[in-house]
Structure 1
Amino acid sequence: MKLEGEVLRVGFNRVFPAGGDRIVHDALELLEQMIDSGQIPGGKCILIDGPQSVPVAYVLSHKLAHLYEVVAVLDPKIGRKIDTPSGALRYKNYIVTISHGSSKYKVGDLIETQEAQPERSIVKVVLCGPPQSGKSCLREGLKMAILSNLAGPYPYVITACPDGEGSWYQKTYEENQGLADEMKRYLKFEVTPEFADKTAQSVKSTNQLINIIDVGGKISPENEKIMKPATHAVILSGDSSKFTEWEKFCQKLELTVIAKIHSQLDAVEDEVFFADDWKEKANELLKTTPLLTGSVHRLKRGENVSDRPMVQALGDLLIHLTKC
């Protein structure tokens, strides 16, 4: 937490996992330290900006209501929008949630500020390519890479391949390989039309800023149905000659290919190549070419690949695309 003028900036440390009870305890402890030290002095109005769990929101409300006449919380989806050469911006608006003794605001009023935030875009990116390329390993490493970037949105993962390797698999494999493999065999099943329909609906309805969809390694009617509601694609292949057929498949589905990555199990380092001026010209460049190419080495189960240069680069790319 940090108070900047009237705005209290809050957020999670997403690198070190903790239960909701611990998070509430730590939030209260930090808030009381800031109050006791005079960093949060009280007054007419305080505006709260940043992600917080529901229990933490109750703690903040209770403590701050004793210090301020008005407490208001940011709603990032409302506010006047303006267009700029670098993209759309929206002025931050706060909804009054507590008001006592104030002649200016009542509960439900909006407080508009002159602070602008970029209009964010929803990215639904498919990790696709031939089987045995390391897509599940990339998925877990990519998720951790984005989580370690405190400026990045929370990445939502959809496991769209019933190969038994859900989000639980990597952690279980690290701690007990035999158990992980046994559970994988038990949970693995063939893709059915019913599974494809249900998963496609999940892809269509998800509305997080970054959504990662891990699909099976076949160009099939089922994958076509699952991938169709997505917006972007990353092609990962251990055989570079397979890129073309997967590019054609993505083009058929009107998915924008943002990266082509050669998976090299026996290599010792990554190669990362961004298109020139990719941040400034992302939308323009994506009409004709992926923004990121190169290779990633040793996507192997049981290893933390989140710090690989290519995985980090792909995470940065996805975060940037939410701002385009």
Structure 2
Amino acid sequence: MTTYHIDLESDVLKVRFGKPANGDQVIKDAAVRLEEMVASGELAGGKLLKIDGPASVAVSYVIAHKISQLYGAIAIFDPKIGRPGYKTFIIAISQTPAYKIGELIETDEPHKNKPIIKVVLCGPPQSGKSCLREGLKQAITSIEGAPYPYVITACPDGEGAWFSDAARRDSDLARRLKDEYKAKFTPEFAQKAAGWVRCANTPLNIIDIGGKITESNRVIVREATHAVILAGDRGKDEVPLWEQFCRDLNIPIIANLDSDYHGNEDKIVTESPLLTGSVHYLARGEDVSSRPMVQALARVLVGLCRG
């Protein structure tokens, strides 16, 4: 099984991650697949190619390098923009006056009949939400037939989806980069992040927000469809406040979890109708994707997408 899948459907290049692997192996597999498609004539070139699916920065460079010269323009799907219910692509490469860089291409591919799940990870600060987010993402991608979990970082704390992998390799460097990228949480950012959530068109979206109950978070969370509450020992007294926060916004809570930093094992108390229990040692740089609670939560989210 390859670590990166690439297929051509009409004028759309469908891309997605396969089995988990380091970035160097992923771009090698992507390069081999693209070379095969070019050599066979499957990627024969043309006026416009649209690319739909998740890609790392490194994979994006490989794709651009291998095929940009074959097409007049290349457009990339962005689930955070455009009219809700329809896919919108951004022209990222253009070698023809027919298309301009930054131009939006809206397709007639509807998504209204497909469930779009937008799950917000919320709870007090320093509970391990970002660590859970990354482990959950990996756990979901290991489930056969599961949709790709698109992550929206709706908090300008500098800790994007890249952070966990970076922290595993060099925690000091990851921390320095996070501090450099950190910005202020302004009303303008909240409105922008709310727009990302509102326009998200992928089947499964995970939204990571800040750890305080604020008007800014209220603006963002009201665009979600479900919520997961995670709280550590220091924040357990805030759980009722977060429960009320979600109820006020009519956001159903699908999991209410304890973050047991000093624990040695996960504990699943209930799975339905509410997933409860604890997940242990959510530490930066730790791969938590195989933890029983993370696996259970991954199954819940995939189940929501399947209806």
Give the structure-2-normalised TM-score. Answer: 0.66
Q: How many residues align?
A: 225
Partner Cα distance (1:237, 1:163) in 2: 18
Q: 1:150-189 alignment to 2 at 5 Å?
A: 150-189=144-183
SS in 1 for 2:259: strand
Partner Cα distance (2:219, 2:300) in 1: 25
Over alpha carbons, which structure has the higher Rg? 1
Which structure 2 segments of 5+ residues have no match?
A: 2-14, 40-52, 56-62, 68-112
The Cα shift of 1:178 comes to: 1.4
| Distance verdict in 2 for CA 1:12–1:211, change over 3 Å | closer
For 1:227, the aligned partner's letter is V
SS in 2 for 1:125: strand
- 1:22 corresponds to 2:29: yes
- 1:224 corresponds to 2:215: no
The Cα shift of 1:171 comes to: 1.1
| CA RMSD, 1 decimal | 3.0
Partner Cα distance (2:279, 2:170) in 1: 26
- 1:248 corresponds to 2:231: no
SS in 1 for 2:276: strand
The Cα shift of 1:170 comes to: 1.0
The aligned counterpart of 1:132 is 126
For 2:262, the aligned partner's letter is D
The aligned counterpart of 1:233 is 227
Which one of 285, 303, 306 corresponds to residue 320 of structure 1? Answer: 303
SS in 2 for 1:261: strand
Give the structure-1-normalised TM-score. Answer: 0.63
For 1:317, the aligned partner's letter is V
SS in 1 for 2:253: strand
Q: 1:195-214 alignment to 2 at 5 Å?
A: 195-214=189-208
The Cα shift of 1:174 comes to: 1.1
Partner Cα distance (2:185, 2:34) in 1: 44
Partner Cα distance (2:226, 2:180) in 1: 32
The Cα shift of 1:13 comes to: 2.3
Q: 1:136-147 alignment to 2 at 5 Å?
A: 136-147=130-141
For 1:268, the aligned partner's letter is N
The Cα shift of 1:263 comes to: 0.4
SS in 1 for 2:168: helix
SS in 2 for 1:321: helix
Which structure 1 segments of 5+ residues have no match?
A: 2-9, 33-50, 60-118, 279-284
* Percent of pairs with identical residues: 48
1:120–1:323 CA contact under 8 A, matched in 2: no
For 1:181, the aligned partner's letter is R
Partner Cα distance (1:132, 1:271) in 2: 20
- 1:148 corresponds to 2:142: yes
